[in-house]
Amino acid sequence: MPVKKFSDVEATPIKNAKDTTIQVLIAPDEAPNFAMRRIEMQPGGSMPLHMNAVEHEQLVLGGRGRVVLGDEVHEVSKDDVLFIPAGLQHSYETIGDEPFVFICSVPNKPDEITVCD
């Protein structure tokens, strides 16, 4: 699997998210250290406040989003890069009329996702 097209990877809905899909571009069994995912959030889409047991490194490919990181709120767009430490509460929502799309890399370690109230 050294090369593939992301358009060939199935997009599946993300549980607890609204109008949001995930494509696992590089799965944990395909690389020794990191997995790579592509997230696409349609206009009006969102992911609730949650925490992960592993860190995230993200690159925004298109659209605009509002991202809550702990006590901070950021508006992000194409070419912005985000680092989300393990255990930090965070959420996402699309801003505008185009999909908010980003790449998310995570370490190949056990991840527990906790949706916050």
- Percent of the chain as helix, strand, coil, to the nearest 5: 5, 60, 35
Q: What percent of the chain has pLDDT over 70?
A: 98
Mean of pLDDT over the chain: 95
Looking at residue 1, its pLDDT comes to 61
The Cα–Cα gap between 111 and 107 comes to 9
Contacts of 8 (CB under 8 A, 6+ apart): none
Give pLDDT < 50 ranges for the chain.
none
Looking at residue 113, its pLDDT comes to 84
Please provide the distance, in angstroms rounded to a whole number, between the alpha carbons at the two ends of the chain. Answer: 39
The Cα–Cα gap between 83 and 105 comes to 10
Looking at residue 105, its pLDDT comes to 96
